[in-house]
Structure 1
Amino acid sequence: MSMLVGDPQCWACRHYRSWVESPAHLRTSTCAAFPEGIPQTIFFGGADHREPYLGDNGVRWESNGKPYPAE
């Protein structure tokens, strides 16, 4: 059994907030770029958020001390 839990790019970003840290009514992971919930395309690694992404409010990936995941 496999379980999708998100992408390391989010875990390594200083803007990331897990669903536990996000507002309770959302029940999803959020960040400064996506305060209403991180799009699945980014969260599951389908888009590199070092690049602009529609609706990201000009906020991009920034390291929280961890490197960007290997390609």
Structure 2
Amino acid sequence: MKNVVDGHFRALLAQLLQVENIPVSDEEGKESWLEIITSLSWEAANLLKPDMSKSGGMDPGGYVKVKCLASVST
């Protein structure tokens, strides 16, 4: 079941990356954005414990913040 969920998640994420013109496949042996974002997303999902008793929302945007993405120009 986990493999099915992971496959659907990766397919959705690949579509979102393509819409933003972000390469999905890895180039020259580099780790792809699909792999990086998938890994970080699952890690965040496993760590989050929304506090519903204090009217906390289920939106992870209220709990997770991406401060900086490093970029390298070629």
With structure 1 as the length reference, what TM-score do the two structures score?
A: 0.30
Higher relative contact order (CA 8 A, sep 6+): 1
Larger radius of gyration: 2
